[in-house]
Amino acid sequence: MVTITDIAKKAKVSISTVSYAINGTRPISEETRQRIFAVMEELGYRPNAMARGLASKKSRVIALLFPGVGMGLGMTALGFFSFTAEAALKVGYNLVLWPELMSNRSLKDHLKNGLVDGVIVMEVSIQDERVDLLRKLNFPFSMIGRTADPRELSYVDIDIRQSMYDAVNYLVELGHRHIAFINAERVPSLKGHGPTVRSQTAFAEATWQVPGVKSIIRSVPVEPNAGTEIVSALLEEDPDLTAIITHNDYAAPGITQAIIKLGYKIPEDFSIIVGPTSPHMAEIVSPPLTSLDLPIEELSRLGVRQLVHKLEGQEPELTQVLIPCHLTIRGSTGPCHIRK
Amino acid sequence: MVTITDIAKKAKVSISTVSYAINGTRPISEETRQRIFAVMEELGYRPNAMARGLASKKSRVIALLFPGVGMGLGMTALGFFSFTAEAALKVGYNLVLWPELMSNRSLKDHLKNGLVDGVIVMEVSIQDERVDLLRKLNFPFSMIGRTADPRELSYVDIDIRQSMYDAVNYLVELGHRHIAFINAERVPSLKGHGPTVRSQTAFAEATWQVPGVKSIIRSVPVEPNAGTEIVSALLEEDPDLTAIITHNDYAAPGITQAIIKLGYKIPEDFSIIVGPTSPHMAEIVSPPLTSLDLPIEELSRLGVRQLVHKLEGQEPELTQVLIPCHLTIRGSTGPCHIRK
DNA sequence: TTGTACGCGTTATCAG
DNA sequence: CTGATAACGCGTACAA
């Protein structure tokens, strides 16, 4: 292994000069700078991350905290992982993955061992233990999502309220007056999951605003088959139903199929919107579903940016960002035709 | 921050004794051991990862190397990320994500800075630059997948040959004799992608083995719509086609839909198998698709195990594991009925 | 069974 | 503009 000492010797300068040259922490004469970098290049020198971390008390590693898989995360999570890692690397940080299998105790241990400088919390719940712990420890973190009352916390999240309003409004403009919302029935560990709770509230508010709109709200498990039965049930309750918004990606194809099997045509007799979600699912279904698209890349990038700012920024700043989802019109929505 | 020195003082022993107690590297009297651990518990002490890494030259961090998103990785990648991270944590390692955005130069830098002890390579290509680099640097790594000639390399991979044989054989037993294979048309950066190349070869071999079987092989882009046109094209070429195996997850739903739209019934007139893939996609389609399921969790676990063994094991061992995919029968396959 | 002391490769302070 | 050198927190010979 080639160390900073090797560079110093070969460049005929002191260790500290090399260090300062690398970090640009203090002025170096152009001449010696050149010489130093030439030697570094020649010997293929790379500053040792551990030594740096120990001396500077900064590891330049951040962690992504997310619920274990198999609880209906789906494609969205994939995007978050990948984009967050890329965004982090671009600003000089490595991203480690911390699935929630970690007990609270284990999380605490990992937080205190100094491997990571800060964490990004994904899939934040209305009441979130992880957030409570991070605050208690005064550990740097940012959230993709937000808790119930994030007054003094920074976060980036989707503007679910605006998004739901957009979706409902779009349907209303198409003439729909009987609209159902099918939510995801979360496993216990995701109880209080922000988007799940807020999307429902937002839907309710959005429909209340419009006079003459009748709305129904239901939840079904995050499973492919979950959609099939709910449709008949909904139609029994309100035979005049003409539109469905579902926040349950996995159930969406089943819902679509169920509607078709009952003899309805999409979008002539029935309109469907899925979201917020990643477009993957929506594009695959037939017909392709109109969807509220999660701005995954942007959320990831901002989440990283916020955390890094907290780690490096001079003055702490409170940034609370809400990004609306884009409503992508596909083949599953159309003007409302009253059925006889 | 509470350091090992604090523990030593409060427990009235030397630093080294504490260190040895923690690592179990040498016998400690039960009495002092108890005392030390009590103090550690009391002060909430956690050994500093950076200091440990520097002193021991082992970071207990491993990296997962994968192609950037948006190149048709899909749900499978999500599983790999999550399961690999979990498996790593269980054996005391942190997993960092290294998307391929890293240039070869950048990868080299990251390898040499000592942050990670070893890497797991995902989505291995027949000729893989990353593998070449790792070998050249003599850097510890394991592969999920394998190169063309991995003679002296350890790996875990799916037994695609067996899997394809299973799928073809199953169709043949159902009476099918005209079978098409629709592969994924990879983006340049995934040229030579192991599973893509091997699945096709395996399909060809499997069909050649059976007398009287006519096979067609095609590739379409990894897109939802890619499936729609290929079906008519295939039927034009061979009107007696009754079965399709596709290794293109994203195209599978479209293929299914196209067949149905042409007036065929599934599985009465047509059988479809998708895979190797994660079951998610297969379950969502209507009808649910019979699929070859990737043993994602097992591959992840074994990948981690192999790497960790290489990092900690006494004698190096060459383990080459091939795991067959499970053929899950769903509603998209059935006995062949000759169409008139 | 325990203690001493050196080294790991950097950063950063204090002097020039 | 540049050099010494003391930390950083822990692992591990070497001694006792």
B254 touches chain A (CB under 8 A): yes
| A175, burial (CB in 10 Å: exposed 0-12, middle 13-18, buried 19+) | middle
How big is chain B, counted in residues? Answer: 340
Query: Rounded to whole angstroms, how far apart are CA atoms A196 and A184?
Result: 7
B48, B89, B97 ranked by CB distance to A113: nearest: B48
Residue A55 has pLDDT above 90, yes or no: yes
Q: What's the rounded Cα separation, in Å, for the pair A316 and B28?
A: 47
A224 chain-B contacts, CB cut-off 8 A: 283-284, 288
- Scanning every strand, the nucleotide with its C1' closest to A27's CA turns out to be D1
Which nucleotide is nearest, taking the CA of residue A57 and each C1'? D8
CA–C1' gap, B85 and C9, in angstroms: 29
Q: Would the pLDDT of A52 be above 70?
A: yes
Work out the angle at residue B306's Cα, subtended by the Cα atoms of residues B302 and B311, and round it to the nearest 5 degrees.
145
Query: A234-245: per-residue pLDDT in tens?
Result: 999 999 999 999
Chain B residues inside the 8 Å CB shell of A77: 78, 82
Size of interface A-B (CB pairs under 8 A): 149
Q: Which tokens belong to B271?
A: 């059988």
Residue A181's DSSP bridge partners are A217, A245
Which nucleotide shows the minimum CA-to-C1' distance to residue B52? D10
For B61-109, what is each residue's pLDDT tens digit?
Answer: 999 998 866 555 566 778 889 999 999 999 999 999 999 866 677 899 9
What chain B residue is nearest to A74 in terms of C-alpha separation? B75
Residue of A nearest to B249 (CA): A284
User: Cβ of A291 under 8 Å from any chain B Cβ?
Assistant: no
Strand C closer than 7 Å to the CB of B286?
Answer: no
Residues 52-111 of B with CB under 7 A from strand C: 54-55, 57
A62 in reach of chain B (CB within 8 A): no
Strand D contact nucleotides, protein CB < 7 Å: 1-5, 7-13
CA of B264 to C1' of D1 (A): 82
pLDDT of A226 reads 86
Question: Which nucleotides in chain C lie closer than 7 A to a protein CB?
Answer: 1-5, 7-13
User: Could you say which DSSP state residue B318 is in?
Assistant: -
Query: Quick one: three-class SS letters along chain A?
Result: CCCHHHHHHHHCCCHHHHHHHHHCCCCCCHHHHHHHHHHHHHHCCCCCHHHHHHHHCCCCEEEEEECCCCCCCCHHHHHHHHHHHHHHHHCCCEEEEEECCCCHHHHHHHHHCCCCCEEEECCCECCCHHHHHHHHHCCCEEEECCCCCCCCCCEEEECHHHHHHHHHHHHHHCCCCEEEEEEEECCHHHCCEHHHHHHHHHHHHHHHHCCCCEEEEEEEECCCCHHHHHHHHHHHHCCCCCEEEECCCCCHHHHHHHHHHCCCCCCCCCEEEEEEECHHHHHHCCCCCEEEECCHHHHHHHHHHHHHHHHHCCCCCCCEEEECCEEECCCCCCCCCCCC
Give the distance, in angstroms, between residue B291 CA and nucleotide C7 C1'.
57
8 Å CB contact of A254 and B286 = yes
Q: A116 CA to C9 C1', in Å? A: 19
Instruction: Return the SS3 of B321.
Output: strand
pLDDT at site A95: 98
pLDDT number for residue A158? 97
**Between residues A335 and B339, which one has the greater pLDDT?**
A335
With H, G, I as helix, E, B as strand and everything else as coil, classify residue B314. Answer: coil
Average pLDDT (B200-209) is 96
The B 44-63 residues near strand C by Cβ under 7 Å are 51, 54-55, 57
pLDDT at B72: 54
Segment B204-232 mean pLDDT: 92
The better pLDDT of the pair B180, B284 is held by: B180
pLDDT in tens, A88-128: 999 999 999 999 866 777 899 999 999 999 999 999 999 99
Q: Give the per-residue pLDDT at A101.
A: 64
Judged by a CB distance cut-off of 8 A, whether residue B53 touches chain A is: yes
Neighboring chain A residues of B301 at a CB cutoff of 8 Å:
none
Instruction: Quick: pLDDT tens for B110-128.
Output: 999 999 999 999 999 999 9
The pLDDT score that the predictor gives to residue A72 is: 54
pLDDT-derived band of residue A258, with 50, 70 and 90 as boundaries? very high
- A192, pLDDT greater than 90: no
Output B280 or B45, whichever has higher pLDDT: B45
B283-CA/D11-C1' distance, Å: 52
Of A264 and B70, more confident: A264
CB distance A96–B44 less than 8 Å?
A: no
Kindly report, residue by residue over B148-171, the tens digit of the pLDDT. Answer: 988 889 999 999 999 999 999 999
**A98 min Cα distance to partner chain B (Å):** 7
- CB of A78 within 8 Å of a chain B CB? The answer is yes
| Residues 2-31/A with CB < 7 A to strand C | 3-5, 15-16, 19-20, 22-23, 25
User: Which nucleotide's C1' atom has the smallest distance to the CA of B28?
Assistant: C1
**Among residues of chain A, what percentage have pLDDT more than 90?**
78
Residue B31 pLDDT: 93
Give the pLDDT score at A73.
58
- What is the tens place of the pLDDT at every residue in A215-228? 999 999 988 888 88
Among B284, B294, B297, B328, the strongest candidate for a mutation testing the A interface, having the largest count of A CBs within 10 A, is B284
User: Is A85 in the B-facing interface, judged by CB distances under 8 Å?
Assistant: yes
Cβ distance of B51 and A46 shorter than 8 Å: no
Mean pLDDT of chain B: 92
pLDDT digits (tens, 9 = 90+) for B126-150: 999 899 999 999 999 999 999 998 8
**Digit-coded pLDDT (tens) for B38-63:** 999 999 999 999 999 999 999 999 99
CA dihedral in degrees (A88, A89, A94, A96; nearest 10)? 60
Calculate how close chain B gets to A314, using CA atoms only, in Å.
22
In the prediction, which pLDDT does A76 show? 74
Contact A85 B99 (CB under 8 A): yes
DSSP letter for B123, please: S
Show the beta-strand stretches assigned E in B100-227: 118-121, 141-143, 155-158, 178-185, 214-221
DSSP state of B170: H
The Cα–Cα gap between B115 and B96 comes to 10
